Structure 1
Amino acid sequence: MSVVPSTDSHGLSAGDAKLVYMVNQIATFFASQPHESAVSGIESHIRKFWDPRMRRKIRDFILAGGTGVDPLAREALDRLAD
């Protein structure tokens, strides 16, 4: 029986990696817009469509020093914490 590792080579859990991937995809979608519109759009999308547990998990990941989150997404996530 094969065991799937719970973290990747960078220490990301599968759940964290999925959330980072998702938030970066959202940031890529909004990146062509002016900065403020992009950050607001990312924030709005996450607020509307992400479960509070998902928002809490990505916030905890960032607070723990997690990396790999697009800067636009990071700014939007910081606003969600306000």
Structure 2
Amino acid sequence: MTEHGPDPVLRLMDDIARHFAHKPADQAGAAIAAHIRSFWDPRMRRALDTAFRQGALTDPGARYAAALLGE
């Protein structure tokens, strides 16, 4: 959370995760990770990794994606 509301990276991740919510977590995570690799800059990826390590990701697909990206 920033002083201006929810963290933009987490809000964006939640939006992307909702798009893939109809898939099992591993398939959703792979699709989310592919999207992030294609479109997110390194600063956003670092913020996502920090959020993942702090336990801030609640969606199973988002957590799976963050784990894949951290490998």
- Place the TM-score, normalised by the shorter chain, in its bin: 0.7 to 0.9
Whose Rg is larger? 1
Q: What is the aligned partner in structure 1 of residue 27 from structure 2?
A: 37
Distance 1:26 1:39 in 2: 10
Matched pairs, number: 70
Distance 1:75 1:20 in 2: 14
* Percent of residue pairs bearing the same amino acid type: 37
Q: What is the aligned partner in structure 2 of residue 24 from structure 1?
A: 14
Q: Name the CA shift for 1:71/1:36 in 2 (closer, same or farther; >3 Å).
A: closer
Q: Name the CA shift for 1:18/1:25 in 2 (closer, same or farther; >3 Å).
A: same
Distance 1:39 1:72 in 2: 4
Name the Cα RMSD after superposition: 2.0
Q: Give how far 1:33 is off.
A: 2.0
Give the TM-score normalised by structure 2. Answer: 0.80
Structure 1 gap segments, 5+ residues each: 1-11
Q: Whose helix proportion is higher, 1 or 2?
A: 2
